[in-house]
Structure 1
Amino acid sequence: MLNGTLPSFLFTLPFLENVLLGDNMFSGGLPSEFFKCRSLKRLSLWSNQFDGEMNKGSTLPSFIELMNLNHLDLSWNNFRGLWELETMLSSLPNLQALYLSNSGLSVVTDNSTIHVNPNFHTLNLACSKLNVFPKSLRAMKNLRGLDLSGNNIRGDIPDWAGEIGGNGLIYLDLSNNSITGLPQFHSDRLMQLYLQSNKIQGPFPPSICNMITLEYLDISDNRFDGVIPQCIENIGFSLRMIDLGNNLFHGTIPNVCVEFGELEGIVLKGNQFEGKVPTSLSECRHLKVLDIGNNHLNGTFPEWLGYLPWLQVLVLKSNNFHGHIRTSSTINISFPLLQVLDLSDNGFVGHLPWKYFQYFNAMKDVVRKDTKPEYLNTGGMYYSIIVVVKGQQLPFPKILVDYTIVNLSGNKFEGEIPNIIGNLNSLIALNFSHNNLNGRIPHALGNLSQIESLDLSWNQFIGEIPQSLADITTLAVLNVSQNHLVGRIPQGTQFNTFEGNSFGGNLGLCGFPLPKQCEHPSSPQFEVDEDEDESGFTWKMVMLGYGCGTLPGLLIGYVMLSTRRPKWFNAIVDSAEHIMIQTWKNKGRSTYIRK
């Protein structure tokens, strides 16, 4: 990467037309020579560390000389200054694309209607402190991409906004504002529509059903209500990702899957959907993520989901599912690529689903390399995990492609933990808490050599804590409280960092970190796991809103998932409970518009 200040001589070159220095580490401000470079057509400085004062007033007389500039990208920097949108557009008559998202600049509008270059096609003003919907947008007849996310726009969007760009608008992002009402959208060529994290009320916008080219739809975290109309099937062929989460929708789960469709992500969490999981979801052969948690769904475990060959994330948490978790007799292998499974807070009963554990190949023998991390995504949409720790949500903005989690807490499972769980040696987090599990904690859990969070609390476990758990060097969060464990707490690199509440409620436990001292010296632990577990096989060791600014929780989550071994995590939390999946918009989501 290049760094330092931008050299002034660069803009004195007589025939300079293009300066493309994005994604570097330049700092300082723009040299005065830049504003005199009349030959310049394209300036792209996105994602640097520029922090200069761009303008000291609401006008931009310096830009008047840049008559040929048609592409200006200052996004993702730390500039200072106040820019008036209409003055900017009037000063640059040949401008076709303007990117000021997260630039540090404050954009204001006088809400006047002005003449705009007929070829103007892209306006990105995310996180620019804009507080009204600019009337100058009305003049942008050929607009293809508009990003006003992360601003302070309030109230209803005017009716004329539904005709912005005519029929050519393909990208619209109004997320993370305080918008309460929408216009009737007339563009049937939209490919990406983001309205999440507003205050929009009312039924599902029927005009969305006419967007037959729509690939990404996110209207989560609003106040939409009612039943999803059947016409949503109209966009099933083009959809790749749909997020209706955290609204007030009710009724049955809509049919968004069509044969030969390419839908990869469905997020319907946090609504009031009821009934059974529709078998029509089996048509989504490309599905990677299914999150229907926090609804009122019922029925038994939909084992037919195991037919989906690409499914990586399955969240059914906090519903009314019940009964035994059975495997399908017609499927040779179920969920071969599953990385995240969350069935917590339901009414499942019986033994733990050990037959599924043997199929979870994506949780076995994962080689994690110290290279540039890769994240689970669909197109430009990244999936992330929220870990609820002591009632507070800790966001993990992105899930590493090798991040693996199993959460079966808050059910009525009984019996012993099967030894085969030790084969899932790439698990990062395992939660069996708040069940009726019994027997001894199996020595095989020590084979989970990469695990960082283990919660076995609120069960009926007996016996001693196996030394194999204390030998795990990656374990940052442990909770075995509220069981019937006895004996001396084993010591180990990570065990020595845990506090007493990790072991509380076990009257027979003694030793550090509990105040109860052991009466006799510790004796060697002789643990015998059955050679054959419930599977009948001989056991062998074959050894996750986007906003403006840096939120503390978001930063913590980013650091945790960007580093492989969060050794310091035990100093922040001592128990990790539930997980859920959400979508997160990264700054590169709209980069396809950068032309």
Structure 2
Amino acid sequence: YLFTVTFASTEETTALFKWKATFKNQNNSLLASWTPSSDACSDWYGVICINGRVNTLNITNARIIGTLSAFPFSSLPFLEYLNISRNSLFGTIPPEIGYLTNLVYLDLHTNHISGSIPPQIGSVAKLQIIRLFDNHLTGPIPETIGYLRSLTKLSLGINSLTGSIPSSLGNLTDLSFLFLHVNHLSGSIPEEIGYLRSLTRLDLRNNFLIGSIPTSLGNLKNLQVLLLNDNNLIEKIPPSICNLTSLTILYLSRNNLKGKILQCLGNITTLQLVMMSHNNLSGELPLSICNLTSLQVLNLGRNNLKGAIPQCFGNMSDHLEILDMQHNNLSGTFQSNFSIGRALRSFNLHGNKLEGKIPRSLVNCQRLEVLDLGANLLNDTFPMWLGTLPELQVLSLRSNKLHGPIRTSRFMKNLFPKLRIIDLASNAFTAELPANLFQNFEAMKRVDQTVEDSNNKEGGYYQDSVAVVKKGLELEVDSILSLYVTIDLSNNRFEGRIPSIMGDLIALRVLNLSHNGLQGYIPPSLGNLSSVESLDLSANHLEGEIPNQLTSLTFLEFLNLSHNHLQGCIPTGRQFATFENNSYEGNDGLHGVPVSGGCSRLPKTNNMTELEQESDSTFLSELNWKVVLMGYVCGLIIGFSIAYLMVSARNPDWLCRIAEELEYRILMRRHKESAKLSKELQKMKLLSVAIRVILDSKL
């Protein structure tokens, strides 16, 4: 007679309950059902039985804190499926794992397991899937894994495994996934890997592998993903790679590969991502790249490529999203009919030798988020037309030959609505800073912690980067879209005042206006930039005092106000206590820590005395009391007389404007004629007050 056993074996139940008793957290609610009085097959969480014997143990993400040392390997001979992933297991994998002779699926990923992989794992002959990634495993990969002929997926990535890749892995002819990434593996890639004709994904990135890419990899006709980046591979890319006609992702970045980009690469029409940056590749861009009708990401940055950008790149307009060829030797001029894709999201040609004008076809790229054409030889005016791109977040045009004023009408609205980085440094822009343009930077007016990081759109394979100057140093910053808000207009020929509206851009982290011809005062509104970390206003013609409002910038790490005409006391407290003398050098009128010992009194000479400091002025002058009195009297007489006449004429507004203009001009010249200007300013202030009093009484 046939019958089905529905209750668990006493031996298996007892063994599992003893293992649970070793857990550090006995009050685990998910395993509360594991009690001696209940039936393991029908009542226990994560346990499935067949004919009364435990077949499946699936307790992933069950908040277990414990080890495998007391796990009942020998008491579970019928166990086929073991998943204890995403817990807090520590300790080692015991050699007794070899007793699980019927095991098909082993998953211990994302724990804290250490030690080596026991060679006894090679005795578990029925294993099809091994997932041990994201632990702290050390030592070599056991040769005995090569005995597991049924294995289809082997994932040992994100550990600290050492030694070479065993050639015995070439025996695993059913293997479709081989993930050994982010370890400390060394030596060369075995030729035997090319025997794995069922392989669809090969991930060996982020190791210390050396030697050349094996020609035998061209045998992997089913391979879809090949990740060999971040190793020390050398020599040329073998032409046999072009045999991988199913390939969708080719990632060879950050090696020491040399030679030309293969012409035959254009035959792999399935390619979607091609990443070969940070190598020593040379020669011109092959026209065959334009045949890649599925290509979404092309990253050839930081090589030695030369020549012009093929005109046929415009043929990829419907699918190419990222084009990164920064830091090469590309040259030539953007032709007037140069076309680049409507699907483009990131366009980075920084650090080449491109000439001519910024291609106007970019205005069609309505999805463009990152545009970096810095460090070229472009000769153009500011491309205000880019302001219509609704998604643009990064605009870098630094170190070109751009010139002229940046002008926009105050009636032009919604320009650059999402811009978070604008870098126009080291050009020849002139005239005043574009206050009306700053007014449009809506994304800089709010501190947004939820900015979408579009780098994840390609599965994390590509990450936008841009060079920014922070703390006086040029840095390459990744994850730029969510982390940095920057305005860099340094090393141009801007003049006039710093617009006070810049204080509205409260999300700014880096503001660099250095090495221009800016004049006037430092706007107190800059004290509103609560997120700013680096502020550089050096090498201008700024004057007046340093606003005390800047002491509220609690995140400020770098301040450079050197080589201006600033005067008065240096503010104290908070971040200002951390800045050294080089933040202020070249300002002869500044005093206080750290420039001098203190600021309680001014230095005295034989013909100078202290004066009270006006609330809206930073200069002090010595005046004879008789001269002051004469000035007051004259000012009053003249002021009352003129005011009376103008009120009688019922047209007083122009006089007020003249008084205010004279007051401003006097302030602008005060550092040259401090004593004389102080007297005139007092007269003009009194005159303005008198006029307004008369106006109020008459009107």
TM class by shorter chain equals 0.7 to 0.9
Q: Find out whether 1:455 has 2:528 as its counterpart.
A: no
Aligned residue in 2 for 1:257: 340
Quickly say closer, same or farther: Cα 1:36–1:325, change in 2 above 3 A: same
Candidates 148, 159, 162, aligned match of 2:239: 159
Q: CA deviation at 1:11?
A: 6.7
Which range moves more in the overlay, 151-160 or 223-232? Answer: 151-160
The yes-or-no answer on 1:5 pairing with 2:91 is yes
Percent of aligned pairs with the same residue? 38
Per the TM alignment, residue 426 of structure 1 is displaced from its structure 2 partner at its CA by: 1.3
Cα distance, 1:177–1:115 mapped onto 2, change above 3 Å: closer
Q: Which has the higher contact order (CA 8 A, sep 6+)?
A: 1
Cα contact 1:180–1:200 (8 A) shared by 2: yes
In the alignment, which residue of structure 1 is the partner of 2:157?
Answer: 75
SS in 1 for 2:195: coil
Contact kept in structure 1, 2:290 and 2:312, CA below 8 Å:
yes
- 2:615 is matched by which residue type in structure 1? F
What residue number does 1:220 align with? 301
Please name the residue that 1:576 is paired with. none
After superposition, the C-alpha distances for 1:370-427 in whole angstroms (9 at most, x for unaligned) are xxx9645253322234444687544433226253111111111101111111111111
Instruction: Say whether the 8 Å CA contact 2:548–2:571 is kept in structure 1.
Output: yes
**1:376/1:399 contact within 8 Å kept:** no
Counterparts of 1:327-346 in structure 2 under 5 Å? 327=408, 331-346=412-427
Q: Which amino acid is 1:365 matched to?
A: R
Structure 1 residue aligned with 2:615: 526
What is residue 105 of structure 1 aligned with on the other side? 185
Match among 242, 256, 266 for residue 178 of structure 1? 256
Does structure 1 retain, via aligned residues, the 8 Å contact 2:498–2:523?
yes
Q: Which deviates more from structure 2 when the two are superposed, residues 380-389 or residues 421-430?
A: 380-389
Q: Distance in 1 between matches of 2:480 and 2:617?
A: 37
C-alpha contact 2:490 2:512 (8 A) present in aligned 1: yes
Deviation for aligned residue 1:499: 0.9
**Residue of structure 1 in register with 2:326 after alignment:** 245
Q: Does the 8 Å CA contact 1:443/1:527 hold for their aligned counterparts?
A: no
- Aligned AA for 1:118? R
Q: Which of the residues 119, 122, 129 maps onto 1:35?
A: 122
Equivalent residues of 2:119, 2:145 under 8 A apart? no
2:104 to 10, 14, 17: 17
Superimposed CA distance per residue, residues 97-125 of structure 1 (whole angstroms, 9 cap, x where no aligned partner): 2111222122424647x872432111122
Q: Which amino acid aligns with 1:364?
A: K
Map 1:493-512; keep pairs closer than 5 Å.
493-512=574-593
Quote the Cα distance in structure 2 between the aligned partners of 1:436 and 1:501: 20
Inter-CA distance 286–74: structure 2 relative to 1 (3 Å threshold):
same
Q: Which runs of 5+ in 2 are unaligned?
A: 1-85, 603-609, 619-656, 658-699
| Matched residue, 1:294 | 375
Deviation at 1:237, TM superposition (A): 1.3
Count of equivalent residues? 515
Aligned to 1:169: 247
Q: TM-score, normalised by structure 2?
A: 0.69
User: Relative to structure 1, is the Cα distance of residues 75 and 115 closer, same or farther in structure 2, using a 3 angstrom cutoff?
Assistant: closer
Q: Quote how far apart the aligned CAs of 1:206 are.
A: 1.9
**Residues of 1 paired with 2:326 and 2:291: CA distance?**
21
Q: Aligned AA for 1:35?
A: G
CA distance in 2, matches of 1:236, 1:136: 35
1:375–1:400 contact (8 Å) kept in structure 2: yes
Contact kept? 2:93, 2:113, Cα under 8 Å: no
Question: Does the Cα contact within 8 Å between 2:153 and 2:176 map onto a contact in 1?
Answer: yes
Instruction: Please state whether the residue corresponding to 2:257 is helix, strand or coil.
Output: strand
- What residue identity is the alignment partner of 1:145? V
- How far apart are 1:73 and its partner, in Å? 1.7
Supply the distance in 2 between the matched residues of 1:527 and 1:78 (Cα, whole angstroms): 64
- Cα separation, 2, equivalents of 1:496 and 1:443: 19
Alpha-carbon contact 2:218-2:242 (below 8 Å) kept: no
What displacement does 1:37 show? 2.3
Instruction: Give ranges in structure 1 of 5+ residues lacking alignment.
Output: 533-595
Q: Secondary structure at the match of 1:430?
A: strand
Give the distance between the partners of 1:457 and 1:76, measured in 2 at CA. Answer: 46
Q: What residue number does 1:382 align with?
A: 463
Q: Which moved more, 1:99-108 or 1:403-412?
A: 99-108
Distance 1:492 1:309, change over 3 A: same
Contact 1:375–1:382 under 8 Å retained in 2 = no
Report the alpha carbon displacement of residue 7 of structure 1 after superposing the two structures with TM.
4.7
**Native 8 Å contact 1:349 1:414 kept in 2:** yes
C-alpha RMSD of the superposition = 2.6
- Shift, 1:152, TM fit: 2.5
Q: Report the CA distance between 1:43 and its aligned residue.
A: 2.1
Instruction: Evaluate the alpha carbon distance shift between residue 212 and residue 507 of structure 1 in structure 2; reply closer, same or farther with a 3 A threshold.
Output: same
Mapped partners of 2:454, 2:514: distance in 1? 27
- The change in CA–CA distance for 1:12 and 1:494 in structure 2 (over 3 A counts) is farther
CA radius of gyration, larger in? 2
- More helix per residue: 2
Structure 2 CA distance, aligned partners of 1:267 and 1:501?
35
- In structure 2, the residue corresponding to 1:304 is in which secondary structure? helix
Instruction: Report the CA distance shift for 1:222/1:282 in structure 2 as closer, same or farther (over 3 A).
Output: same
The partner residue of 2:202 within 119, 123, 133 is: 123
